[in-house]
Amino acid sequence: MAVNRVKETFSSAMHGAVLGPMGARLKEGIRAFALYGTTGGAKAPALAGAIIAEARPYAVLTPSDAEAKNLADEIRFYCGLLTSSPPEITYLPGFEVDPYRGLSPHPEIAAARARALWQLLNDEPGVLVASARAAAARLHAPEHFLNYCLTLRRDEDMSPELICGHLRESGYVEDDPVTDPGEFSLRGGILDVFPPNLEKPARLEFFGDTIESIRLFDPDSQRSIQEVGVLEIIPMREYCVRENTLRDWAEKAHDFWGRPFLKHIEEELALAQHGELFTGFEFLLPAADPLDKTLFDYLHDFRVAVVDREHLETSLDKHNADLYERFVDRVEAQKSVLEPKLLYMETDEFSARLERFPRLEISELNISQTDVDPVYFSSQPVRKYHGNIREMIGDIRKFYESGEKIVFVLSSSGRAERMHDILKEYDIPAALCVSSEQGGAWETAAVPGPQILLGIGSLTQGYYLPAEKLRVLTTPDIFDDTDAASGLKKSKSAGRNPFLSDFRDLKPGDYVVHVDHGIGMFRGMETISRENESKEFVLLTYQGDSRLYVPVERLDLVQKYSGMGAGRPTLDRLGGASWERTKKRIRKSMRDMAEELLKLYAQRRTVSGYAFAPDTSWQREFEDAFEFELTRDQIDALDAVKADMEAPRPMDRLLCGDVG
Indicate which CATH number applies to the domain containing 210: 3.30.2060.10
Q: What is the pLDDT of residue 580?
A: 77
Q: Is residue 345 domain-resident?
A: yes
Could you tell me the CATH number of the domain that includes residue 52? Answer: 3.40.50.11180
Backbone angles phi, psi at 435, to 5 degrees: -100, 140
Q: What is the pLDDT of residues 371-410, one digit of tens each?
A: 667 777 888 999 999 888 899 999 999 999 999 999 999 8
- CA atoms of 52 and 82, how far apart (whole Å): 7
Residue where a domain terminates, one of 324, 357, 376: 376
Q: Looking at the structure, do residues 372 and 384 belong to the same domain, yes or no?
A: no
Q: What is the pLDDT of residue 339?
A: 95
Q: What is the pLDDT of residue 464?
A: 93
Higher-pLDDT residue of 147 and 650 is: 147
- CA atoms of 207 and 190, how far apart (whole Å): 9
User: pLDDT at residue 535 above 80?
Assistant: no
State percent of the chain over pLDDT 90.
42
Structural domain of 206 = 150-233
Q: What is the pLDDT of residues 113-137, one digit of tens each?
A: 999 999 999 888 899 999 999 999 9
Average pLDDT of the chain is 84
Q: What is the pLDDT of residues 404-450, one digit of tens each?
A: 999 999 888 888 888 888 998 899 998 887 644 444 445 544 444 56
Q: What is the pLDDT of residue 625?
A: 66
Residues 6+ apart with CB under 8 A from 294: 135, 136, 137, 138, 139, 345, 353
Q: Looking at the structure, do residues 131 and 74 belong to the same domain, yes or no?
A: yes
User: pLDDT at residue 526 above 50?
Assistant: yes
Q: Looking at the structure, do residues 385 and 449 belong to the same domain, yes or no?
A: yes
Q: Looking at the structure, do residues 340 and 397 belong to the same domain, yes or no?
A: no
Contact 633, 495 (CB under 8 A): yes
Q: What is the pLDDT of residue 565?
A: 56
Q: What is the pLDDT of residues 93-111, one digit of tens each?
A: 999 888 998 888 988 999 9
Q: Looking at the structure, do residues 540 and 508 belong to the same domain, yes or no?
A: yes
Q: What is the pLDDT of residue 408?
A: 92
Q: Looking at the structure, do residues 523 and 540 belong to the same domain, yes or no?
A: yes
Q: What is the pLDDT of residues 451-510, one digit of tens each?
A: 788 888 889 999 999 988 999 999 999 986 554 444 444 433 344 444 444 555 678 888
Q: What is the pLDDT of residues 224-266, one digit of tens each?
A: 999 999 999 999 999 999 999 999 999 999 888 888 888 888 8
Higher-pLDDT residue of 134 and 49 is: 134
Contact 443, 434 (CB under 8 A): yes
Q: Work out the pLDDT band at 566, boundaries 50, 70, 90.
A: low
Could you tell me the CATH number of the domain that includes residue 549? Answer: 2.40.10.170
User: pLDDT at residue 325 above 50?
Assistant: yes
Q: Looking at the structure, do residues 405 and 388 belong to the same domain, yes or no?
A: yes
Q: Looking at the structure, do residues 182 and 199 belong to the same domain, yes or no?
A: yes
Q: Degrees (nearest 5) of the Cα angle 497, 499, 505?
A: 150
Q: What is the pLDDT of residue 154?
A: 94
Residues 6+ apart with CB under 8 A from 407: 6, 9, 10, 452, 453, 454, 455, 470, 471, 472, 473
Q: Is residue 263 domain-resident?
A: no
pTM of the complete model: 0.73
State percent of the chain over pLDDT 70.
87
User: pLDDT at residue 281 above 90?
Assistant: yes
Backbone angles phi, psi at 547, to 5 degrees: -110, 145
Higher-pLDDT residue of 17 and 484 is: 17
Structurally, how many domains does the chain consist of?
A: 4
Q: What is the pLDDT of residues 200-216, one digit of tens each?
A: 999 999 999 999 999 99
Q: Is residue 590 domain-resident?
A: no
Query: 252-274: b or e for each residue (b if 16 or more CB lie within 10 Å)?
Result: ebeeebeeebbebbebbbebbee
Q: Work out the pLDDT band at 52, boundaries 50, 70, 90.
A: confident
Q: Looking at the structure, do residues 136 and 59 belong to the same domain, yes or no?
A: yes
Q: Looking at the structure, do residues 131 and 39 belong to the same domain, yes or no?
A: yes
Helix (H) or strand (E) holding 618: helix 617-624
Q: What is the pLDDT of residue 447?
A: 46
Q: Which of 549, 520, 574, 575 is CA-nearest to residue 101?
A: 549
Q: Looking at the structure, do residues 192 and 171 belong to the same domain, yes or no?
A: yes
Q: Is residue 555 domain-resident?
A: yes
Q: What is the pLDDT of residues 586-628, one digit of tens each?
A: 877 888 888 888 888 777 777 888 888 888 877 876 777 676 7
Q: Looking at the structure, do residues 44 and 23 belong to the same domain, yes or no?
A: no
User: pLDDT at residue 24 above 90?
Assistant: no
Q: Is residue 311 domain-resident?
A: yes
